[in-house]
Chains A and B, each alone.
Chain A
Amino acid sequence: MFPEPDWRPTCAGQALFDRARLLTSVRAFFAERAVLEVETPVLSRYRGTDPNLNAFRTQVDSRGHSWYLQTSPEFAMKRLLANGVASIYQIAKAFRQDEQGRHHNPEFTLLEWYRTEFDLERLMTETEQLLRAVDVDQVLPTKIERFRYRDLMLERLALDPWQFDVDVYRACAKRLGFDDAPRICGDAHSVWLDFLFSQAIQPQLGRAALTWVYQFPVLQSSLARVSPNDPNAVERAELFIDGMELANGYHELIDARQQQQRFEQENQWRIEHGRVAVEADPRLLAALRSGLPDCAGIALGLDRLLMLLTGAGAIDEVLAFSSARA
């Protein structure tokens, strides 16, 4: 006799109520600030060039071009901004292939918002206010920390992330007991940084605080502007709580030529690493040429926020049906 397939939700019934309450308070927060809720296409003709994001590919008509499920609503929202709408937010489904684990589901919900005339500093503060507003039961840490990426690496690993000498990085990994690092990272500076940051630093971040890391390496963030006081860094900030990445924001790059160059660099990387080059989104580039207002934007993982608010240990526990039962 065959058992019945698992048809029941992966979350407990209470999680449905918790999610509904979270969505209501997010919408109330932005309504109060006159930030407009928008919807943009989930299915799109173009995708980002980011070498570390794999988009789901499909077709709109069976013999036509490839289309993609969005990995985030960023490009479409920037086109709305370029067209003159003021600050906007969206609660959007995003899709990323090959991402599955305790903190990842291939389909997930992003809260993404853009504030015209905000810099990163102001956006970080607003994010903190949002977290306070939705944290009805006051379970999130009250302390707030902000660290520069470079300072963290220097203080905790005694490593300067702006310099790259593979022997120095190997010695650092060896000191920390990461024997696999040389095999995995080879001589790629950005992979070394990803490895050391995610394995040696991130697990300790946000343990009793909302921990921001900002001014990330320029080679890792193609949509953020370069920091005015450090040419090696970009105006990007990430928020960590309980060792988990919760949000990622930029003071947005608005220079169309620079943006095109970054896309080309990412495509170059893709080709050098045996991946297929991706056609840079011509509509986004045209919108940037026509003029994107000075703005800052941030994407926050709502499922992960719900995990933190409810004490869930895995993303499955806050999704009605995780991919295992979708």
Chain B
Amino acid sequence: MAEYSTNEFRGGLKIMLDGDPCAIIENEFVKPGKGQAFNRVKIRNLKTGRVIERTFKSGESVPGADVVDMEMQYLYNDGEFWHFMVPDTFEQYQVDEKALGDTKQWLKEQDICTVTLWNDAPLSVAPPNFVELTITETDPGVRGDTSGGGGKPAILETGAVVRVPLFVQTGEVIKVDTRTASYVSRA
């Protein structure tokens, strides 16, 4: 894998740091007057999701990480692994619970997700920004009751819980923004 110098640091660049694949979020070039230049870099560890700050001497190099994002279709869960397929090649990948993380609560079969591969192994999965899911359980809204204003909790077919308006009922399909875990509309 190629080495990247600090001059090539850009948002989105994938590098190896302390043995973990990371993505650069922000790169700030700092140069005191006539002195040594530094790069102050905000980095996301792609394994843990944690964001850290690191400083480099400008001109330093770090190894790149073989990390690629691929669109894949979610197929099924066999109890231990979640299976995804690349639509063009039918190539399949199995993802364990750790790599899947919070995405699990949004997964519906057939949906297209973004799977991040590191050295060809799934590292993380991002759900589609919007998903359409059926409400399996919510309190019947009381007519005219607008107290609280914030609606009511609803359990979706995938197990996720989102707040919905009072008029939405069990059995309805709703559209949810997965980035904020919030109700958008009836589907």
Q: Which residues of A contact B (CB under 8 A)?
A: 50, 52-53, 98-104, 178, 180-181, 184, 190-191, 193-195, 197-199, 202, 216, 220-221, 238, 245, 248
Instruction: Tell me which of A53, A101, A104 has the highest count of chain B C-beta atoms within 10 A of its own C-beta.
Output: A101
Residues of A within 8 A of B144 (CB): none
CB distance from A319 to the nearest CB of B (A): 16
Contact of B32 among A98, A101, A181, A198 (CB under 8 A): A198
Residues of B within 8 A of A178 (CB): 55
Residues of A within 8 A of B56 (CB): 180, 184
Q: How many residues of B are counted as interface, with CB atoms below 8 angstroms from the partner's CB atoms?
A: 20
Residues of A within 8 A of B37 (CB): 52, 98-99
Cα A191 to Cα B60 with chains together (Å): 14
B7 near A98: Cβ-Cβ < 8 Å: yes
Cα A216 to Cα B34 with chains together (Å): 11
CB distance from A252 to the nearest CB of B (A): 14
Listed A/B pairs (19) with beta-carbon separation below 8 Å = A52-B31, A52-B34, A53-B34, A98-B37, A98-B59, A101-B28, A101-B30, A102-B29, A103-B29, A180-B54, A181-B55, A194-B36, A195-B55, A198-B31, A198-B32, A198-B35, A199-B30, A199-B38, A238-B33
Interface positions of B from 1 to 51, Cβ below 8 Å from A: 7, 27-38, 40
A194 near B58: Cβ-Cβ < 8 Å: no
CB distance from A50 to the nearest CB of B (A): 6
CB distance from A63 to the nearest CB of B (A): 29
Cα A180 to Cα B60 with chains together (Å): 13
Q: Which residues of B contact A (CB under 8 A)?
A: 7, 27-38, 40, 54-59
Contact of A98 among B28, B33, B40, B58 (CB under 8 A): B58
CB distance from B127 to the nearest CB of A (A): 29
Cα A181 to Cα B36 with chains together (Å): 13
Residues of A within 8 A of B36 (CB): 52, 190-191, 194-195
Cα A264 to Cα B138 with chains together (Å): 79
B32 near A197: Cβ-Cβ < 8 Å: yes
| A197 nearest CB neighbor, chain B only | B32
Contact of A199 among B33, B55, B57, B59 (CB under 8 A): B55
A184-B38, A195-B38 as given contacts; A202 in contact with B59, CB under 8 Å = no
CB distance from B62 to the nearest CB of A (A): 12
Residues of B within 8 A of A238 (CB): 33
CB distance from A169 to the nearest CB of B (A): 14
CB distance from A185 to the nearest CB of B (A): 8
CB distance from A37 to the nearest CB of B (A): 25
Cα A216 to Cα B33 with chains together (Å): 11
Residues of B within 8 A of A221 (CB): 34
Instruction: Tell me which of B36, B37, B40, B58 has the highest count of chain A C-beta atoms within 10 A of its own C-beta.
Output: B36
A202-B32, A220-B35 known; 10 new pairs, CB 8 Å cut-off, are A52-B36, A99-B37, A101-B30, A104-B29, A180-B54, A194-B38, A198-B31, A199-B40, A220-B33, A248-B34
Residues of B within 8 A of A197 (CB): 32, 35
Cα A52 to Cα B59 with chains together (Å): 11
A220 near B7: Cβ-Cβ < 8 Å: no
Contact of B33 among A101, A180, A195, A245 (CB under 8 A): A245
CB distance from A96 to the nearest CB of B (A): 9
Residues of B within 8 A of A248 (CB): 33-34
B29 near A99: Cβ-Cβ < 8 Å: yes
B38 near A101: Cβ-Cβ < 8 Å: no
Cα A181 to Cα B56 with chains together (Å): 9
A184 near B34: Cβ-Cβ < 8 Å: no
Residues of A within 8 A of B28 (CB): 101-102
| B32 nearest CB neighbor, chain A only | A198
A52-B35, A178-B55, A190-B35 as given contacts; A198 in contact with B7, CB under 8 Å = no
Cα A248 to Cα B33 with chains together (Å): 7
Residues of B within 8 A of A220 (CB): 33-35
Cα A101 to Cα B32 with chains together (Å): 13
Residues of B within 8 A of A99 (CB): 29, 31, 37
Cα A102 to Cα B28 with chains together (Å): 7
Cα A99 to Cα B39 with chains together (Å): 11
Residues of A within 8 A of B30 (CB): 101, 198-199
Contact of A245 among B32, B57, B58 (CB under 8 A): B32
| B52 nearest CB neighbor, chain A only | A179
Residues of A within 8 A of B32 (CB): 194, 197-198, 202, 245
Closest 3 CB pairs of A and B: A101-B29, A194-B35, A198-B32
